[in-house]
Amino acid sequence: MALFSCPDLLFSLLVLLLSLLCLVKLRSSNMAALPREWPLVGMFPSLVANLHRFHDYSTAFLAASGGSFVFRGPSLSGMRFFFTCDPANIRHIFVSNFTNYPKGVEFAAIFDIMGDSFFNADGESWRRQREKVQHLVSSPQLLTYMAWCCRDKVEDGLLPFLSRSSHAEVPIDIQELFTRFTFDMTARSVFGVDPGLLSVDMPPLTVPNAMEAVMDVGFFRHTVPASCWRFMKRVKVGPERQLAAAQLELRRFVAEMLEKRRDGPVHVDEVREERNEEIVSSYLHDPEYSDENGRPNAFLYATLINYMFAGRDTAGMSMTWFFYNLIKHPHVVSAIRVELAPIAMHKAATSTGNNHMVIFDPEETKPLVYLQAALFESMRLYPPGPIERKTVMADDVLPSGHRVQRGETILIALYSMGRMEGVWGEDCHEYRPERWVKEDGKLLHVPSYKFLAFNAGARSCLGKHISVVQMKSVIAAMVWNFDFEMLTRHVVEPKPSVVLKMKNGLLAKVHKRRVE
């Protein structure tokens, strides 16, 4: 890689200096909904001033501009983003003209830890990898194994932890709890190994923290000129130094998991007599994922890291925000319990054990409409991935009438789309699961280009069904067996990141529920 030239560095420093001067002036005046454009530095100072509240900030200027907005950064920096949350544009980008809007090389550079895996891939490579993933997630053996992993982790990890916290009357961080739960769950599904983050001793979150750093620095790379973060990466300073350490930790973890798997089953998985069908087993003997000596290559490492992010982030963030909404809306909790009651009563009547905890299997919660409506309503307002990024391959005109040019970057604001009156109505800011239930009691179908939590079109999430049924079974067990009360004066707000994590966690008290 060539060294950065002196003009590049001087330009970056000049942009930073001018941005700071404009930022001082911005903070001394009333900020309008639309970003102000300054000479030379463009709208960059407005972005910096609102970075701490980026998702709400972008929602405000998209609402003021009719759902689409062109953001221009410093001159010569290449920062020119077309923001949109217009469903017609999204349908065009994700479905009608899909091949014209790949993720692009800059996206792959931002998330370089994912290498050439399906998270970054475009074109033929992406199609080939997607076919392999599709074959995997349709395997009855894998689905059975994942369902068992989920139930086992709920029964032996999640519910006992909540019970101990309830007896000790100690507040918990629900976000951290789901981080531990989903990390263990995902590692078992991918590697067949349980890292034990939800064990009684509660080990440090070393690897999940590394994953969080990847997403935080990924967001940082989106918000500064590419020349800036590339220079910082070169000299390993600031967030780029943190990212380098995180990437090493993730690769170390994958190597450790592969080694443990080679040594034989560990933890609770060893009690299973039937052959486990974990994800990694489909890759180990594929020559594309091995070097000339048959050892795992960089492509396999990147692919397995990709699976860890895909499995952990969607479910973990979605369930955290879901419980935030439940705590604020007790009537929704009551409605979910009414729906769960027939299943719970039947299980209690046929149970022969002394365990007073009720555990719901995925197949039991699968037909529950209101529970799924409540989950989707939470994901509408708080999508686990609040922004999608695309690159324009050839000049095009979007349904909104905006022209986009080859090489331009498009940012699709999922968080903002859930808060647009023109998309969801005047009550768009309200958490109201009933909007998802039809008059006949069935779940309302909402087009994916309007509800983008699981992506849309050719890149729709292949694990959507698995993720939804698992989340419903986990939520059901927690809602039926426990009550949750948020700590007084605890502030909940999104963290500026590629995933919609809470900045201060979700601190709550847990109370064991008495069911008469």
Binding residues for heme: 461
The secondary structure of 392-417, three-state, reads CCCCEECCCCCEECCCCEEEEEHHHH
End-to-end CA distance of the chain: 68
The Cα 456–Cα 22 span in angstroms is 39
Return d(Cα 477, Cα 89) in angstroms, integer. 39
Identify the H or E element spanning 317: helix 298-328
> Scanning the structure block, which residue is given the tokens 């907005």?
69
- Write b or e for each residue in 201-224: b if 16 or more Cβ atoms lie within 10 A of its Cβ, otherwise e: eeeeeebbebbbbbbbbbbbbbbb
Q: What one-letter code names the amino acid at 214?
A: V
Among 323, 107, 384, which Cα is nearest to 222's? 107
Structure tokens at 198: 């939800």
The three-state secondary structure class of 13 is helix
Farthest-apart Cα atoms in the chain, separation: 76
User: Do residues 207 and 195 lie in contact, with contact meaning Cβ atoms separated by under 8 Å?
Assistant: yes
Q: How far apart are CA 214 and CA 417, in angstroms?
A: 25
Helix or strand or coil: residue 109? helix
Annotated binding site: 461
| Joined tokens for residue 17 | 């200096």
CB 297: neighbour CB atoms within 10 A?
17
Distance CA 428, CA 406 (A): 34
Question: Contact 191/258 with Cβ under 8 angstroms?
Answer: yes
- Evaluate whether 94 touches 103 at the Cβ level (below 8 Å): no
Helix (H, G, I), strand (E, B) or coil at 453: coil
Which whole-number Å values give the CA distances from 319 to 137, 174, 497, 501, in the listed order? 22, 9, 17, 11
Residue 413 to residue 35: CA distance in whole angstroms: 16
Q: Phi/psi of residue 443, each to 5°? A: -70, 135
